[in-house]
């Protein structure tokens, strides 16, 4: 005897494979083992399909955010570290540019002090010494500025100190030009 699991009709003919009413696969009556696979086959996709997509994405999604969160952090710090290594040469160039800038400012300050002392009637030897010192500082600043521009020129990163190096070099060159003009004026004044 066979029974339909859908409509519960029973069929005496064991040769029947499907229910005549609804086409469901007939199961042998009294055979509980054949009943279970029939329900299990139906229950399996119903259980796995709704449960696994829900639990499977939920479970990986929860562990995965910590992984992307922890992975980008080491990924970012190695990214920053390789940037730190190229940063050494820009920093050296930046240091040179800053030193060059300080030289230019110091040169200008010494020149201003020199002019102030000169107008105050200070010792000409002292004035000459200060002027020579400021010229020397300007010269050192110009050389450092050239090196800084060359070093910054090699640095292709947007944080390079090219602009500062160029400004420092230009300031030192302007200062040296002023020194040369003052020296020339002094020579002309002395020759008269
Ligand atoms: Zn049926």
Tens of pLDDT along the chain (192 residues) come to 899 999 999 999 888 999 999 999 999 876 554 445 555 555 555 555 555 555 555 555 555 555 555 445 555 555 554 545 444 455 667 788 888 889 888 988 888 888 888 888 878 888 888 888 888 888 898 898 888 888 887 877 777 778 888 888 898 888 889 888 888 888 888 776
> In this predicted structure, what is the pLDDT of residue 24?
93
How far away, in angstroms, is 75 Cα from ligand 1 center? Answer: 62
> In this predicted structure, what is the pLDDT of residue 35?
47
How far away, in angstroms, is 45 Cα from ligand 1 center? Answer: 21
How far away, in angstroms, is 11 Cα from ligand 1 center? Answer: 10
How far away, in angstroms, is 26 Cα from ligand 1 center? Answer: 8
DSSP the chain: -EE-TTT--EES-TT--B-TTT-PBPEETT-HHHHHHHHHHHHHHHHHHHHHHHHHHHHHHTTTTHHHHHTHHHHHHHHHHHHHHHHHHHHHHHHHHHHHHHHHHHHHHHHHHHHHHHHTT--HHHHHHHHHHHHHHHHHHHHHHHHHHHHHHH--STT--HHHHHHHHHHHHHHHHHHHHHHHHHHHHHH-
Q: Classify residue 23 as left (phi > 0), alpha (psi -120 to 50) or beta.
A: left
Q: Which is nearest to 151 in space by CA: 83, 95, 82, 99?
A: 95
Structural contact between residues 99 and 149, judged by C-beta atoms closer than 8 angstroms: no
How far away, in angstroms, is 135 Cα from ligand 1 center? Answer: 110
Structure tokens at 26: 């007939």
> In this predicted structure, what is the pLDDT of residue 18?
94
> In this predicted structure, what is the pLDDT of residue 183?
83
Write down the pTM of the prediction: 0.47
How far away, in angstroms, is 56 Cα from ligand 1 center? Answer: 36
How far away, in angstroms, is 47 Cα from ligand 1 center? Answer: 24
How far away, in angstroms, is 48 Cα from ligand 1 center? Answer: 26
> In this predicted structure, what is the pLDDT of residue 69?
52
């Amino acid at each position: 005897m066979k029974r339909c699991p859908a409509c519960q009709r029973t069929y005496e003919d064991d040769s029947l494979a499907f229910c005549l009413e609804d086409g469901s696969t007939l199961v042998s009556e009294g055979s509980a083992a054949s009943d279970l696979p029939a329900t299990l086959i139906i229950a399996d996709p119903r259980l796995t399909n709704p449960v696994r997509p829900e639990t499977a994405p939920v479970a990986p999604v929860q562990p995965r955010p910590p992984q992307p969160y922890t992975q980008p952090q080491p990924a970012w710090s190695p990214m920053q570290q390789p940037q730190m290594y190229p940063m050494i040469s820009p920093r050296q160039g930046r240091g040179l540019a800053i030193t060059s800038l300080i030289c230019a400012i110091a040169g200008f300050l010494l020149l201003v002090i020199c002019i102030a002392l000169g107008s105050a009637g200070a010792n000409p030897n002292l004035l000459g010494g200060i002027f020579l010192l400021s010229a020397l500082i300007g010269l050192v600043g110009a050389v450092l500025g050239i090196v800084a521009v060359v070093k910054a020129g090699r640095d292709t990163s947007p944080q390079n100190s090219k602009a500062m190096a160029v400004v420092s070099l230009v300031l030192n060159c302007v200062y040296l030009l002023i020194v040369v003009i003052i020296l020339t004026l002094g020579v002309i004044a002395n020759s008269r």
